[in-house]
Amino acid sequence: MPFALTPERERELAEILTRYPTKMAACIPALHLCQEQHGYIDDDVVAWVSLRLDLPPAHVKGVVTFYTLFNQHKVGKHQLWVCRTLPCALRGAGEMLEYCEKKLGIKAGETTPDGKITLRTAECLASCGTAPMMQVDKDYHENLTPADVDKILERLQRS
């Protein structure tokens, strides 16, 4: 079935369009709404967004491939981003990432076999004063210890 936003998200998109003088400006917000619903951006989504916003599909595809946060492939139910950049690395982010990899049995960039968790590294998440940290879906978890990480991973695996 071709992709379409749910009526609720379509209403949200209609409101977003009122904020800008052009339809094109809603491209990134629209893609976020689509990804929220579909999990990732495939060619069906690109086609829908380009029709909805009167944009060439190549433009939409170009935007999707430019930005790190748009998934071009199916990902796990939960996204776990470990910040790896210097200020976090100074506080043990490298070791924390290895710890997560060992606990989950996957490498950064991979998804657990049950499809629950995708583990990735992130570049600076503006949380340098509370390092090490990770982002789990929409939430930041800061000043992490091994016990904190154990709790987070257990919760995700149970969910």
Interaction site with another protein (CB under 8 A)? 19-22, 24-29, 31-32, 53, 55, 59, 62-63, 66-70, 81, 84-87, 89-92, 94-96, 98-99, 102, 122-131, 135, 138-140, 145-146
How many beta carbons lie within 10 A of that of residue 145, not counting itself? Answer: 11
* CA–CA gap between residue 23 and residue 40 (Å, rounded): 22
Q: How far is the CB of 81 from another protein (least distance, A)?
A: 8
Which residue, 8 or 58, is less far from another protein as judged by CB?
Answer: 58
Q: How far is the CB of 107 from another protein (least distance, A)?
A: 14
Q: How far is the CB of 63 from another protein (least distance, A)?
A: 6
Which residue, 113 or 123, is less far from another protein as judged by CB?
Answer: 123
Which residue, 114 or 139, is less far from another protein as judged by CB?
Answer: 139
Q: How far is the CB of 110 from another protein (least distance, A)?
A: 18
